Amino acid sequence: MAEAPIPEQLLEVREKIDQVDRQLVLLLAERFALTGKVGRLKADGNLEAVDPTREAQKLEALRELSRQHELNPDLVAGLFTRIMAEVVENHRRIRGENS
């Protein structure tokens, strides 16, 4: 049995999703470039790689923003927790704490 053709509307929506995905990756790259600068500033100032207070405040603000936009706050917080963990590892690498 042959597969039904994919409706044009579905293809258009998928292309928009692909565009958003590309934008998300570019924004993530920009965020990591900025956090790289933060890592160098922290290393130069002999500051800790992780700032638990800042992270907690940031996650709560993101949870609230998620609620305002009817997104799952746990999903968004989980994504950003993973992103922040990677940032901390990058900061430690910059500082030389991982060697």
Q: For residue range 38-49, what is the model confidence (pLDDT) as tens digits?
A: 999 999 999 999
Q: pLDDT tens digit string along 47-64?
A: 999 999 999 999 999 999
Single out the residue of 81, 26, 82 nearest to residue 18, CA to CA. Answer: 26
Q: Which string of b and e fits 22-43 if b means at least 16 CB within 10 Å?
A: eeeeeeeeeeeeebeebbeebb
Average pLDDT of the residues of the chain: 94
**Residue 94 contacts residue 43 (beta carbons within 8 Å):** yes
Domain positions in the chain: 50-99
Question: Does residue 96 come out as left (phi exceeding 0), alpha (psi in the -120 to 50 range) or beta?
Answer: left
The pTM of this model reads: 0.86
User: Distance between CA 41 and CA 27 in Å, rounded?
Assistant: 21
CA distance 66 to 80: 12
